Structure 1
């Protein structure tokens, strides 16, 4: 049952990325191009996502446990270390250069979007290196 729920949620997420245009790396790169072809639509997509997540988390966490699963798996780490700084910085650089982050990259790969055949393998290698790095879980 959990697999089916995750599959349906992943499909819903992918459809949302396609409908919002976030599977197109030019959309992201135009958002970052403040003095050229700036496109503010990504800010509206992010704002909508933050609002939905804010409300959703408050509603869901009022429950004693998840609908599918024994318990909630929430982050427990509160300190800041080098991984908290370096990881997001590398993510942001890759996002800005490639125009993709993981979700849209996988969605665009399914759509045969140009650039994903180079980006997705590089992303997977980066994920593997991050996991193999000293101090990672």
Structure 2
């Protein structure tokens, strides 16, 4: 799920973001691109560097045997997982750490992150305010 969260946070225009005097502007994408630079992953633009960081993390996960989808780890059926998706998103939203996230998520965003991670959907460049774009037809899409 970490790569889905990185992709979600890597935006220049987060919505529903409060202003804090210690932050001049959203810089999560820049920070992720700096990590890619430190790891010598290459890339010309910040988003290319974020993409390469995500690919490197996915490669590392594969090397150490971490499944790419939640469904490959949990014992619950798809129906059982989907029945819990609203509760999972609500709990994630209410978690005390959520407010410290570089981008403050909506509950529907959290549901979509869970769905994408559950199915192991591929990650592609963030578009339209950083929303995750799925290149295949989604089996289930979060609603409000």
Relative to the length of structure 2, the TM-score reads: 0.24
Q: Which structure's relative contact order is higher, taking Cα pairs within 8 Å and 6+ residues apart?
A: 2
Larger Rg: 1
- The structure where helix makes up a greater share of residues is 1
Relative to the length of structure 1, the TM-score reads: 0.25
